[in-house]
């Protein structure tokens, strides 16, 4: 019996618009299988590498070697020992054999137990393929853990750090359990991310004798949750109410989606306002208070006028202002800005304090002028995709924003989305008209990308206006991003809270 699961892995972390690998996991319980045993793979021309593992359990005997495709492999003791009454590595040896192949897997990989018979209980393969899709994040924990009646008071916890995302997402964790004898013994534990949690309890196998590849899924985890914890234990019957015994976990995989958006340069934003010259203005401009005509700090000019002003004489004010405007619009369009939070806030403080004339009068070696230049450089890196979520694909115009339509052909854009008054002095009214029947949510995010509050969540009716009253007393003064989601549509706008 085999289980095939499509997952994705990026060992170097998340970079949008870069295709990541896909990893498939297959496995068999092999304790009583005829030796040797072969795992075969499809579409081998797309495979980059294959990691194979075999779980070995030796009671009173010394582990020998096994052969993978004729290549000898040594035994490794499980990295983690959660068996309080068993001397792992002494009277018993619970562990695994592992090897990675970058070629020679076209006909599959064969495990030869090398005369160790029933002491080899499972055979697993992690198949890494080329050309996966963007927006998928996977973390692999290669630690193996031996459990024996450790109880709920002393679980082993696998911790995973995950990148933030622009919206709610599911988190999936896949765990191979070996030597779970079906005699009433249980595996128990929990998977938790933020306030979302599930408990599990099972006592059977699903991949033949003595192998269970268990799939745990946490639904609708908020995108600002960046840690997931998988806790596992073998229960103590008198405490946990279920019978526990011995089992072994192999490498654990976590998969989730990551929507961190992408960034565009100042040149794009300069040409995609209602003033052109691009034929289709980018609607992100409308998220500013007065669109491109919004006043830009102490400049005496509007946003679009600032973008059209050349930094004569190397005026560092305009160098920073151009990159700041592009970064702000990228953030409003949904790009994750956690990597530039400090720099963006510092730039905001400077722009609130100085005029173009103040900075234009400074000489090249002036420390304040250098601050403007350095911040401009960092924001330029963000807008160009050197840091942050990455630059949008070439040819990006408005395809991602204008091409999506609902089944009736109407645009997905939520209509009449507004906040009044803005800035919010004591209270405000948020208004919008849904374009889908079903759930709508409104969340408030700070400039670090952290969700501060959920302001609204309920079932709504298409074309029936909604009005939500919000008091500012519970929020600190500052700039926030308001994000509304209705069906597949997500829109955002900036609001300022004043005390």
Query: For residues 469 and 23, which has the higher predicted lDDT (pLDDT)?
Result: 469
Report the pLDDT value the prediction gives residue 398, as an integer from 0 to 100.
40
d(CA 396, CA 402): 11
Window from 14-28, 131-145, 226-240, 312-326 with minimum mean pLDDT: 14-28
Q: How confident is the model at residue 255 (pLDDT cuts 50, 70, 90)?
A: confident
d(CA 344, CA 495): 16
Report the pLDDT value the prediction gives residue 413, as an integer from 0 to 100.
67
The domains of the chain are located at 5-257, 266-400, 406-497
- Checking if the pLDDT of 144 tops 80, the result is yes
Report the pLDDT value the prediction gives residue 472, as an integer from 0 to 100.
75
Distance spanning both ends of the chain, measured CA to CA: 64
Tell me if the bond preceding 421 is cis, omega within 30° of 0: yes
Report the pLDDT value the prediction gives residue 5, as an integer from 0 to 100.
31
Q: How confident is the model at residue 238 (pLDDT cuts 50, 70, 90)?
A: very high
Query: For residues 450 and 169, which has the higher predicted lDDT (pLDDT)?
Result: 169
- Checking if the pLDDT of 305 tops 80, the result is yes
Please return the burial class of 462, using the count of CB atoms within 10 Å of its CB with bins 0-12, 13-18 and 19+: middle
Q: Which one, of 262, 374, 373, 260, lies nearest residue 326 by Cα?
A: 262
DSSP string over 465-483? -EEEEEESTTS-SEEEEEE
- 283 is written with which tokens? 């609607």
> In terms of residues, how long is the chain?
499
Contacts of 119 (CB under 8 A, 6+ apart): 56, 57, 58, 61, 63, 113
Report the pLDDT value the prediction gives residue 18, as an integer from 0 to 100.
28
d(CA 220, CA 213): 23
DSSP lists the bridge partners of residue 6 as 24
Whole-number Cα distances in Å, 16 to 303, 332, 388, 392: 28, 17, 9, 8
Average pLDDT over residues 30-46: 92
| Percent of all residues in the chain with a pLDDT value above 70, rounded to a whole number | 89
- Checking if the pLDDT of 131 tops 60, the result is no
Write the secondary structure of 431-443 as one string of H (helix), E (strand) and C (coil): EEECCCCEEEEEE
DSSP lists the bridge partners of residue 8 as 22
Average pLDDT over residues 278-300: 91
Q: Which one, of 396, 373, 397, 377, lies nearest residue 386 by Cα?
A: 377
Per DSSP, the three-state class of 294 is coil
d(CA 280, CA 303): 18
d(CA 72, CA 22): 27
Contact call for residues 198 and 190 (beta carbons, < 8 A): yes
Q: Which CATH architecture has domain 406-497?
A: Sandwich (2.60)
Task: For 59-78, write each residue's pLDDT tens digit.
Answer: 989 999 999 999 999 999 99
d(CA 333, CA 344): 16
Per DSSP, 292 falls in state G
Beta strand pairing call for 145-148 and 246-249: antiparallel
Whole-number Cα distances in Å, 269 to 278, 288, 306, 311, 494: 10, 13, 12, 17, 17
Report the range out of 241-250, 393-402, 475-484 with the highest average pLDDT.
241-250
| Percent of all residues in the chain with a pLDDT value above 90, rounded to a whole number | 52
CATH classification number, 5-257, choose in 2.60.120.660, 3.40.50.720, 1.10.1060.10, 2.30.36.70: 2.60.120.660
Going across the sheet that includes 66-68, the strands are: 37-39, 109-112, 66-68, 71-73
Phi first, then psi, for residue 323 (nearest 5°) are -70, -35
Q: Which one, of 77, 215, 222, 228, lies nearest residue 139 by Cα?
A: 228
Report the pLDDT value the prediction gives residue 427, as an integer from 0 to 100.
83
Task: For 399-433, write each residue's pLDDT tens digit.
Answer: 333 323 333 333 356 767 888 888 888 888 888 88
Across all residues in the chain, what is the average pLDDT? Answer: 85
Task: For 218-231, write each residue's pLDDT tens digit.
Answer: 999 988 888 999 99
Window from 167-171, 184-188, 206-210, 437-441 with minimum mean pLDDT: 437-441
The model carries a pTM of 0.61
Per DSSP, the three-state class of 153 is coil
Report the range out of 104-108, 441-445, 493-497 with the highest average pLDDT.
104-108
């Amino acid at each position: 019996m085999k289980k095939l699961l499509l997952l994705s892995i990026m060992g170097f972390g998340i970079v949008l618009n870069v295709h990541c690998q896909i990893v498939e996991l297959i496995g068999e319980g092999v304790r009583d299988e005829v030796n040797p045993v072969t795992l075969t793979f499809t579409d081998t021309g797309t495979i980059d590498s294959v990691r194979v593992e075999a779980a070995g359990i030796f009671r009173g005997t010394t582990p020998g070697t096994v052969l993978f495709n004729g290549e000898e492999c040594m035994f490794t003791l499980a990295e983690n020992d959660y068996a309080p009454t068993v001397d792992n590595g002494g009277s018993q040896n619970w562990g695994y054999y592992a090897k990675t192949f970058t070629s020679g897997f076209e006909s599959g990989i064969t495990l030869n137990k090398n005369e160790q018979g029933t002491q080899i209980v499972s055979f697993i393969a992690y198949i890494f393929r080329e050309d996966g899709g963007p927006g998928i994040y996977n973390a692999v924990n290669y630690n193996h853990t031996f459990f024996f009646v450790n109880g709920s008071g002393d679980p082993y916890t696998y911790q995973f750090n995950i990148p933030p995302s622009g919206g709610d997402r599911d988190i999936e964790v896949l765990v191979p359990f070996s030597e779970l004898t079906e005699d009433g013994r249980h595996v128990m534990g929990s998977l938790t991310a933020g306030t979302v949690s599930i408990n599990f309890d099972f006592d059977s196998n699903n991949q033949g004798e003595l192998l269970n590849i268990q799939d745990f899924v946490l639904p609708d985890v908020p995108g600002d949750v960046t840690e997931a914890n998988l806790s596992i234990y073998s229960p103590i019957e008198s405490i946990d109410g279920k019978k526990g015994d011995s089992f072994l976990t192999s490498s654990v995989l976590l998969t989730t989606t990551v929507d961190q958006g992408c960034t565009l340069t100042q040149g794009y934003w300069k040409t995609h306002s209602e003033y052109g010259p691009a034929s289709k203005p980018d609607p992100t401009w409308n998220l500013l208070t007065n669109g491109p005509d919004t006043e830009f700090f102490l400049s005496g000019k509007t946003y679009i006028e600032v973008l059209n002003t050349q930094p004569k004489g190397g005026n560092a004010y305009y160098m920073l202002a151009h990159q700041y405007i592009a970064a702000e619009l990228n953030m409003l369009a949904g790009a994750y800005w956690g990597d530039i939070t400090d720099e963006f806030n510092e730039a905001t403080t400077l722009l609130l304090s100085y005029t173009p004339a103040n900075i234009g009068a400074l000489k090249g070696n002036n420390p304040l002028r250098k601050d403007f230049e350095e911040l401009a450089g960092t924001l330029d890196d963000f807008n160009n995709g050197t840091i942050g979520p990455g630059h949008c694909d070439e040819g990006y115009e408005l395809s991602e924003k204008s091409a999506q339509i609902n089944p009736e052909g109407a645009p997905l854009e939520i209509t009449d989305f507004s906040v009044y008054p803005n800035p919010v002095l004591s209270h405000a009214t948020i208004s919008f008209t849904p374009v889908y029947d079903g759930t709508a949510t409104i969340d408030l995010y700070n400039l670090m990308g952290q969700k501060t509050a959920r302001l609204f969540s309920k079932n709504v009716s298409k074309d029936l206006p909604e009005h939500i009253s919000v008091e500012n007393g519970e929020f600190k003064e500052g700039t926030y991003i308001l994000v509304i989601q209705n069906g597949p549509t997500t829109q955002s706008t900036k609001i300022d809270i004043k005390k």
